[in-house]
């Protein structure tokens, strides 16, 4: 009975952890960084995330991915090492009711342990969108993060 309850709770938790805001994600490349005898190699993964509310803005995220047996099964916790670069890939079109700050999506770094959240903020004074990627795991009191800025059309 306890095992069934634990399994049900675990399934519910994983469903909740994987729900929420999500971005269209496309894997662009993966580069092997460390050979593993068992399971996949450690690698750097490059993925594209398109902003779901701002047309023609794409963010490219490079991140470390742990391999090995645990990594191959999705249980290894990948390190919080990443970089983000966001670019206008065409004319930027913003909806009229865009929030000034918003979490626009996440990338999972392991099945249960952490994710990377991608935030968008509007800097009205400089007329730019500011994208920040942040690890949900706190390291020594502060999460790792990276930032990129996309200029909006000239006024």
Instruction: Judge whether 115 lies within some domain.
Output: yes
Tokens of 91: 């004319």
Is 56 domain-assigned? yes
Do the domain assignments include residue 2?
A: no
Task: Answer with the residue of higher pLDDT: 104 or 149.
Answer: 149
- Of residues 21 and 78, the one with the higher pLDDT is 78
- Alpha-carbon distance of 84 to 113, in angstroms, equals 21
Q: What is the pTM of this model?
A: 0.72
Domain that holds residue 28: 21-151
Lowest mean pLDDT among 20-24, 28-32, 86-90, 112-116: 20-24
Convert 100-124 into a string of H (helix), E (strand) and C (coil).
CEEEEEEEECCCCCCEEEEEEEEEC
Look at the chain and report how many structural domains it folds into: 1
Confidence of residue 71 (pLDDT cuts 50, 70, 90): low
Whether 43 maps to a domain, the answer reads: yes
Other beta carbons within 10 angstroms of residue 38's beta carbon come to: 9
Give the Cα separation of 120 and 110 in Å (integer): 23
Q: Which residue has the tokens 């645990």?
A: 70
Q: Is residue 155's pLDDT more than 60?
A: no
């Amino acid at each position: 009975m306890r095992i069934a309850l634990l399994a049900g709770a675990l399934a519910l938790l994983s469903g909740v952890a994987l729900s929420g805001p999500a971005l269209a994600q496309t894997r662009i490349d993966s580069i092997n960084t460390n050979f593993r005898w068992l399971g996949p190699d450690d690698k750097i993964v490059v993925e594209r995330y398109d902003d779901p509310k701002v047309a023609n803005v794409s963010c490219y995220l490079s991140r470390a991915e742990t391999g090995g047996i645990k990594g191959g099964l999705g249980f290894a916790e990948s390190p919080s090492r990443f970089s983000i670069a966001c670019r206008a890939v065409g004319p930027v079109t913003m909806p009229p009711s865009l929030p000034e700050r918003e979490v626009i999506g996440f990338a999972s770094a392991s099945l249960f342990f952490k994710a990377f959240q991608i935030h968008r903020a509007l800097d009205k004074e400089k007329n730019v969108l500011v994208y920040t990627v942040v690890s949900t795991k706190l390291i020594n009191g502060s999460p790792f993060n990276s930032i990129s800025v996309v200029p909006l059309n000239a006024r």
